[in-house]
Amino acid sequence: MRIILLGGPGAGKGTQAKHLTEKFNIPQISTGDMLRAVCKESTEQGLAIKQAMNSGELVSDEIILQLVKRRIKESDCANGFLFDGFPRTLAQADALVKEEVFIDMVIEIDVSDDEIIRRISGRRVHQPSGRTYHVDFYPPKQPDVDDVTGEQLTQRLDDTEATIRNRLEVYHNQTSPLRQFYEQWSKSDDSNAPGYVKIDGSGSAADTRDALFSALEGDSNNSGAKL
Ligand code: AP5
């Protein structure tokens, strides 16, 4: 099963990815997480990536494609994978087609910009594990402390309000066209076309998960996708 999770910054892709990767027993490939790991290196490339991420701009297609191509060759991807935050430009989507990396299902999580700002500004993360909380919606048992390790939670450097607004603009200008790209392709006769489902992500994380699974069921009944 190869899945693409599409949606604005903070729409809940990472939160929902956990349910899908468990259900299908596939790894989550988050280009954001991969880039944050590269940023820790004090190399020229690491610094350039950090600068782009902290200002809410996209990292170059060249770097992203290099990372993704390498990652999907690893053995845990043999039965599929879930892309979280990739592709983010038409050039990245085209590269997948060119490399004949075909996708079973594209899932769009639809959330309004106002809700996104509320979600991202309240997000807190446990950096070593990637566990994510929200100060109001999913608070840790003790404020600013990870439930599992007792370590301090932090805010991502790109989760400031000014950067969130830029990330939203970048999303609408550069990533949003992918919705049309995949939706139209899914309606074509091409046997390599992915299925496409759009779900309302404005409810709670549990409501979104339920909507996601019923949409996948519905789509598999209609299109014969491998669920
Ligand atoms: P990335 O790390 O991918 O960030 P993003 O797409 O902006 O998405 P987020 O991780 O911020 O949010 P999410 O949708 O996973 O939401 P989450 O589940 O955490 O990318 C960061 C940067 O890296 C980019 O800006 C770019 O610079 C670069 N980059 C990455 N990929 C790239 C690519 N392919 N090409 C070029 N550059 C790339 O939820 C958010 C919060 O809301 C959490 O606190 C959560 O607890 C809460 N929450 C979740 N669901 C709900 C709900 N239903 N109700 C209430 N709260 C909820």
Residue 40's pLDDT is 85
Please give all residues whose beta carbon lies within 6 A of any atom in ligand 1, as ranges.
7, 9-15, 30-32, 35, 52-53, 56-59, 64, 85-86, 88, 92, 119-120, 123, 132-134, 137-138, 158, 167, 201, 204-205, 208
**pLDDT tens-digit readout, 58-104:** 999 999 999 999 999 999 999 999 999 999 999 999 999 999 999 99
Residue 217's pLDDT is 80
Residue 215's pLDDT is 85
Classify 135 as helix, strand or coil. Answer: coil
Interaxial angle between packed helices 205-223 and 13-24, expressed in degrees from 0 to 180 and rounded to the nearest 10: 50
pTM, two decimals, is 0.94
Q: Which helix (H) or strand (E) segment is 104 a member of?
A: none
Nearest Cα residue to atom 8 of ligand 1? 9
Mean pLDDT of 204-214: 93
DSSP string, 44-96: HHHHHHHHHHHHTPPPPHHHHHHHHHHHTTSGGGTT-EEEES---SHHHHHHH
